[in-house]
Amino acid sequence: MKEKKGQLGSLQSVIAVLIIVGILVGAGLMIMQKFNESTQFTSIEENRVDVGAGINSTGYTLLGASELKVNGISVTSIVNASTGTVIAAGNYTVSAAGVIKNNSAWIWNNTNITYTYKHAGASYIGLNNTKNGMLVLPELLPLVILIVLIGIILGVLFNVIPGSRIQGA
């Protein structure tokens, strides 16, 4: 059987591997599409205290407001650190972006703000990075297909031509 011209014995295994890889890549892309369509991710709730915050009419941005996908900011208490006086909720406002503004005539240069908030967490960040990385795949797909085709052609050439030379000699 090995003396026949044009025998492509190992090409079948190469084609089988390419089919399996194609199926796995396709399944991976379908899974990533489902993640991409998902709008709900687990939020992590945290408690935080900003020490020494100065609140005036321009506002103070809470430190937790810089977290990814912050929502549900709720101020528990604001205490004047110098006197220990609790500042009533009617004397300030909190925006959805985490900015506290002073509504009273008093200027609070040194306050301790205790609050809770929710944010995306590490799982969302990791999934978001993976989704962004997958956006590069369509740009590289023609190059990958070209490399695979060249590999198949070279595999055929290196398996068929040496056999025909030996038999023809």
pLDDT, residue 164, reads 57
Question: Mean pLDDT of successive 10-residue segments in the chain (169 residues)?
Answer: 58 77 83 69 76 83 81 87 87 88 83 87 74 76 84 77 58
pLDDT, residue 167, reads 56
pLDDT, residue 158, reads 76
The residue type at 5: K
pLDDT, residue 163, reads 59
pLDDT, residue 126, reads 77
pLDDT, residue 165, reads 57
pLDDT, residue 80, reads 87
Q: Do 7 and 163 contact (CB within 8 A), yes or no?
A: yes
pLDDT, residue 17, reads 79
pLDDT, residue 47, reads 83
Enter the tokens of residue 151: 């590999």
Enter the tokens of residue 72: 């549900």
Spatial strand order of the sheet with 60-61 comes to: 60-61, 99-102, 92-94
